[in-house]
Structure 1
Amino acid sequence: MTSAAPESRIPEAVHRRRWAILGVLMLSLLIVVLDNSILNVAIKTISTPEPTGLGATQSELEWAINAYTLVFAGLLFSAGLLGDRLGRKKVLLGGLVVFGVGSALAAGSGSPVELIAFRAVMGLGAAFVMPATLAVLMNVFEREEQPKAIGIWAGGVGLAIAIGPITGGVLLDHFWWGSVFLINVPIVVLALGLMLWLVPDSRDPNPGRIDPVGVLLSVVGLVLLVYGIIRGGQLADFTDATVLGAIAAGLAVLTAFVVFEKRSDHPSIDISFFRNKVFSAAIGVIGLVFFALMGVTFFSVFYTQTVRGYSPLQTGLLMLPLAVAQLVFAPRARLVVDRFGNSAVCTAGMLLIAGMLAAFAVLDGDTPIWLLEVIFFLMGVGMAHVMTPLSVVIMQALPREKAGSASALSNTFRQVGGALGIAVLGSVLSTAYRSGIEDKLPAGAPHAAAESIEATLGLAARLGDRGAALVGPAHDAFLHAMHVTALCGAAVAVLGAVAMAVFLPGRPSGGQPDEKEAELVAQEH
């Protein structure tokens, strides 16, 4: 019975109900992650013309996803600081209310533009929920239990990824597309009630100051960069003046953001954290994982529903192995790390992800569907053995009082990686698709008809019998574009594997380091 006396900063009453608190935090996390995974199976429905959907183009779909992601990523760090200053519980409650209101408004959207705007409101609420959940977790668990708790927390992400597509499929089979957003409202109400009852408040005794200039520069820079990339894919021309101008302006504003943060006495992002090579590599690879994953998820829905003809519910069930693998392996990943070390486990996990992304290049219109299931399952195994160890490395690299900052940085890179993945890989998909279908379209076809497979099939439906000849070429062009995009994603994952092999620490000598050693490893360089 050597429970450390110095660690008695956690009140006994809080310590006793720590697992119940973790359950409430996971419920809050669930709705934030659930929203994007539900949307994954709904994007095809939203792209169909009214009254079934909103008739959103591929670029509008990318913005519907990225409006949420960019607001989320841009405000995460300030949200973490506000939680440190005002109290994590208050910020968590406020974030849930905003997220619930945004969900209700998104469900009633009358156009793609309205949907994009209300998704941004949802991103605002989510930005205050995500960092607070992990910061509260770090303050109700002792350090020796933190890796286990983080593993379960990460498993909750896997659970949301599992439940989301299936829930979305069930809703779309029985209700209109807006139901995939409306489902968030009752979950928010339940989470609010449980949080008021169970979760203690906590704050940083020495919180940082809010950095409005830094927040503005980061959001503007990211929006300009993503706009340029998506616009380039839409036009299939990255040499267009508006495309180059937007990308150059975005990079210039992001450079100004880094310079401003280095000189500021209260930066949004403390650039000094990145002097630690282990921390920098871990956080960068989290971005690369989500870059590859979000881009692949975007095109896999069109593969299963449009090319293979599965319903939204069937698509949700097809994605189940990806989530089940994360759910099963994420809580156990720390045991593998104890034996083989962070570097070996994370490198192997990234190489497995890269291999599964490359495997999408062998999928065709008549490939046995069990092969897709194997790919999804092994991709989930790879993610579990990358995300969980990296989350522990990042969270233990900073003192407990800065838990909000560590969580926000981790999630910022995750969301920015995902947004850039959808923008870049979505543009690769759009450009490769257009090059394969453009010469098959009838003379006088609108430019937008070559932007995506849904747009081409929509034109084919309007042409009636004359359009039937377009279906086969559209499927072939999409499959070719999917193969190109998957190989690009695989190349990004290989870069992540190299970073893991070079920068992450290997297996500690003598087994598990104690707390002092763990802090020294996290703070060196």
Structure 2
Amino acid sequence: MTRLLPTLHDGNRRWWTLGAMCFALFMVMLDNTVVNVALPSIQRELRASLAGLEWTVNAYTLTFAVLLVTGGRLGDILGRRRVFLAGVVVFAASSAAIGVSPNQAALVAGRAVQGVGAALMMPGTLSIISSVFPPEERGRAIGTWAGVSGLALAIGPVVGGALTEYVSWRAIFFLNLPVAVGAIVVTLFAAPESRDESTQHRIDYLGIATLSLGLSALVLALVEGNAWGWGSARIVALLVTAAVGLAAFVVVERRAAEPMVDFRFFRSRTFLGANAVAFIVSFAMLAMFFFLALYMQNILGYSAVEAGVRFLPSTLMIILVAPIAGRLADRIGPRWLIAVGLSLVGTAMLLLTGLRVDTGYGHLLPPFMLMGVGIALTMSPMSTAAMNSVAVEKAGVASGILSMNRMVGGTFGVAALGALFQHLARNRLGELLAGSGLPPSLREELVRHLGSAQERMGSADPVLAARVGRAASEAFVYALSGGMWLSASLAFSGAVVALLLIAPGRIGHGSGDTRELAAAETFAG
């Protein structure tokens, strides 16, 4: 490494730094997609229910979402590079623990800890980039950052599918270890330390506690609502707890000397709009990948590798378009790019409402490609709009807020579509199996394990088992189509939000939207 040090100078340091941050981001995003492809294998080996699979995803995204703002704030206070490296270590250690997990509970617990590591890492990637690149180059840098994210999304399903099929689903977590080592080496070599020198260095513990309580209760209610009953005492108690926790968080943050979330950021319409878009696009994207991974393997019969390869058109579009979108955001501004991107995402979802039990891949290809282009046109301009609408000294906490809304959106997407999915599947399965003589308890068990329903019948009459298998597959597709309608509606509403809230033209520190924020602060004062 010492032989490479002379090549590092003021002219290229920021590009080496961008490479370091992209390397770490690659690890986080790779983990998202490899897990989706491995879900059916995890379901079979650990005999996990649909809710259990949701928690395999949501335990990670929930802790990730809840602690992202904390990770960004800690980076601003303690040093962004220092907190980032701590996150890499936690992420790698938890990945190793997941790889040896003996049961579903251990797997979910490991995923929760992995989310903590990711929460310490993720804000650092964007805040460090924002601190070393001037506003006129930031769109290009963030576009490259988003393109690397797309690269991880692209190869993740293939790598995950190959490891799952030929080695074990556990190998996908061990894959993080060498990537983590590389991220640490490159970061130590290239990335400078930075922090917010304008603060008194106080950590908002009460804000962390109230936000964690409110979000955790809300997501748990969404995931378990169908299983426990929406009118049950447990679900009602969780919803009340969520409302109280989130309301308390707002009150605490408004009174804190150094709040974890500075609500003055949201006086900027562009910052507010970018965060709303972050929630919406992640809601649509993660929910789609979650359920389509199950659909292609459990319903269409693809292997893990075959399913992974078929995701490639979507993620390759992200790789190709994201850097271009970043450059266009520098030139024309992010508003119209985001609106067009979300409209394409909504169109892709509408096309996916026509899925059937025997749908060919030719029907999946166009919406997959549209989805990739739409996500690429949305993500990097959205990030550029958010980061350019706040002072660079606040880049860490602003990045944390944006990333939190992305991850909360993904968590809500999987949880909300999971709740809708089970409701629609239960009703449809009841219609298709009317008169079959199956007891309600077995029908409920089939709903929780759609896609492997025929296997759940065990030694039952082969004719009945075949009927149950067909009915379960049809119920799965019916419920999936209903979920796609919900996601499409939300994506189109996001395009409207972008047009209404995000400022037209280029956005830079000290101009445009920043003046809007300064005026709001003056008026409030």
TM-score of the aligned structures, taking structure 1 as reference length: 0.92
Kindly report the root-mean-square deviation, in angstroms, between the aligned alpha carbons of the 2 structures.
1.9
Query: 1:477 — aligned with what?
Result: 475
Quickly say closer, same or farther: Cα 1:346–1:256, change in 2 above 3 A.
Answer: same
Q: Distance in 1 between matches of 2:79 and 2:182?
A: 21
Q: Deviation of residue 394 (structure 1)?
A: 0.5
Paired residue secondary structure (1:125): helix
Query: 2:302 — aligned with what?
Result: 310
Query: 1:4 — aligned with what?
Result: none
Quickly say closer, same or farther: Cα 1:15–1:128, change in 2 above 3 A.
Answer: farther
One-letter code aligned to 2:305: L
Q: Deviation of residue 61 (structure 1)?
A: 1.1
Query: 2:209 — aligned with what?
Result: 216
Alignment partner for residue 358 of structure 1, among 350, 366, 376?
Answer: 350
**Maintained 8 Å contact 1:226/1:247:** no
Quickly say closer, same or farther: Cα 1:524–1:327, change in 2 above 3 A.
Answer: farther
One-letter code aligned to 2:253: E
One-letter code aligned to 1:13: H
**Maintained 8 Å contact 1:393/1:522:** no
Quickly say closer, same or farther: Cα 1:329–1:521, change in 2 above 3 A.
Answer: farther
Q: Distance in 1 between matches of 2:290 and 2:56?
A: 12
Q: Deviation of residue 337 (structure 1)?
A: 4.1
One-letter code aligned to 1:75: L
Quickly say closer, same or farther: Cα 1:346–1:523, change in 2 above 3 A.
Answer: farther
Q: Deviation of residue 231 (structure 1)?
A: 1.1
Query: 1:8 — aligned with what?
Result: none
Q: Deviation of residue 277 (structure 1)?
A: 1.5
1:271 equivalent to 2:263? Answer yes
Alignment map for 1:357-436 (pairs within 5 Å) = 357-436=349-428
Paired residue secondary structure (1:463): coil
Alignment map for 1:130-145 (pairs within 5 Å) = 130-145=122-137
Query: 1:452 — aligned with what?
Result: 449
Query: 1:20 — aligned with what?
Result: 16
1:520 equivalent to 2:515? Answer yes
Q: Deviation of residue 322 (structure 1)?
A: 1.3
Q: Distance in 2 between matches of 1:268 and 1:513?
A: 25
Q: Deviations over 1:388-431 (max 9, x none)?
A: 11111101111111111111011000001111111101111111
Query: 2:275 — aligned with what?
Result: 283
Quickly say closer, same or farther: Cα 1:516–1:223, change in 2 above 3 A.
Answer: closer
Q: Distance in 2 between matches of 1:461 and 1:15?
A: 66
Q: Distance in 2 between matches of 1:175 and 1:514?
A: 49
Q: Deviation of residue 368 (structure 1)?
A: 2.8
Paired residue secondary structure (2:101): coil
Quickly say closer, same or farther: Cα 1:513–1:296, change in 2 above 3 A.
Answer: closer
Q: Distance in 1 between matches of 2:509 and 2:247?
A: 37
Q: Distance in 2 between matches of 1:223 and 1:523?
A: 34
Q: Distance in 2 between matches of 1:281 and 1:134?
A: 18
Query: 1:245 — aligned with what?
Result: 237
Quickly say closer, same or farther: Cα 1:55–1:464, change in 2 above 3 A.
Answer: farther
Q: Deviation of residue 456 (structure 1)?
A: 2.2
Q: Deviation of residue 521 (structure 1)?
A: 5.7
Percent sequence identity over matched residues? 34
Answer with 394-403 or 336-345: which moved more. 336-345
Q: Distance in 2 between matches of 1:442 and 1:201?
A: 67
Query: 2:493 — aligned with what?
Result: 495
Q: Distance in 1 between matches of 2:333 and 2:218?
A: 37
**Maintained 8 Å contact 1:460/1:468:** no
Alignment map for 1:24-39 (pairs within 5 Å) = 24-39=20-35
One-letter code aligned to 2:270: V
Alignment partner for residue 199 of structure 1, among 182, 185, 191?
Answer: 191
**Maintained 8 Å contact 1:279/1:522:** no
Quickly say closer, same or farther: Cα 1:138–1:462, change in 2 above 3 A.
Answer: farther
Quickly say closer, same or farther: Cα 1:131–1:485, change in 2 above 3 A.
Answer: same
Q: Distance in 1 between matches of 2:120 and 2:326?
A: 28
**Maintained 8 Å contact 2:334/2:384:** no
Answer with 457-466 or 398-407: which moved more. 457-466
Query: 2:4 — aligned with what?
Result: none
1:100 equivalent to 2:92? Answer yes
One-letter code aligned to 1:392: T
Quickly say closer, same or farther: Cα 1:117–1:513, change in 2 above 3 A.
Answer: closer
**Maintained 8 Å contact 1:299/1:482:** yes
One-letter code aligned to 1:224: A
Structure 1 segments unaligned to the other structure (5+ residues):
1-11
Alignment partner for residue 349 of structure 1, among 341, 344, 347?
Answer: 341
Quickly say closer, same or farther: Cα 1:438–1:109, change in 2 above 3 A.
Answer: farther
Q: Deviations over 1:345-364 (max 9, x none)?
A: 22121111111111111111
Q: Deviation of residue 448 (structure 1)?
A: 2.3
Paired residue secondary structure (1:517): coil
Q: Deviations over 1:477-499 (max 9, x none)?
A: 11110111100111111221111
Answer with 492-501 or 113-122: which moved more. 492-501
Q: Distance in 2 between matches of 1:326 and 1:505?
A: 24
Q: Distance in 1 between matches of 2:90 and 2:479?
A: 38
Query: 2:55 — aligned with what?
Result: 63
**Maintained 8 Å contact 2:139/2:329:** no
Quickly say closer, same or farther: Cα 1:273–1:516, change in 2 above 3 A.
Answer: closer
Paired residue secondary structure (1:177): coil
Q: Deviation of residue 341 (structure 1)?
A: 4.4
Q: Distance in 1 between matches of 2:383 and 2:109?
A: 31
**Maintained 8 Å contact 1:64/1:115:** yes
Q: Distance in 2 between matches of 1:477 and 1:355?
A: 23
**Maintained 8 Å contact 2:157/2:305:** yes
Q: Deviations over 1:281-307 (max 9, x none)?
A: 111111011111111111111211111
| Alignment coverage as a number of residue pairs | 505
Q: Deviation of residue 454 (structure 1)?
A: 3.5
Query: 1:179 — aligned with what?
Result: 171
Q: Deviation of residue 115 (structure 1)?
A: 0.6
**Maintained 8 Å contact 1:434/1:451:** no
Paired residue secondary structure (1:453): coil
Q: Deviation of residue 175 (structure 1)?
A: 1.1
Q: Deviations over 1:215-263 (max 9, x none)?
A: 111111111111111111335x423332222122212211111111112
Answer with 315-324 or 203-212: which moved more. 203-212
Q: Deviation of residue 18 (structure 1)?
A: 2.2
One-letter code aligned to 2:389: A
Q: Deviations over 1:54-88 (max 9, x none)?
A: 11111111111111111111111121121112211
One-letter code aligned to 1:30: F
**Maintained 8 Å contact 2:390/2:509:** no
Structure 2 segments unaligned to the other structure (5+ residues):
1-7, 521-525
Q: Deviation of residue 523 (structure 1)?
A: 5.1
Q: Deviations over 1:84-130 (max 9, x none)?
A: 12211211111111100000001111111111111111011111110
Query: 2:438 — aligned with what?
Result: 443
Q: Distance in 1 between matches of 2:403 and 2:31?
A: 16
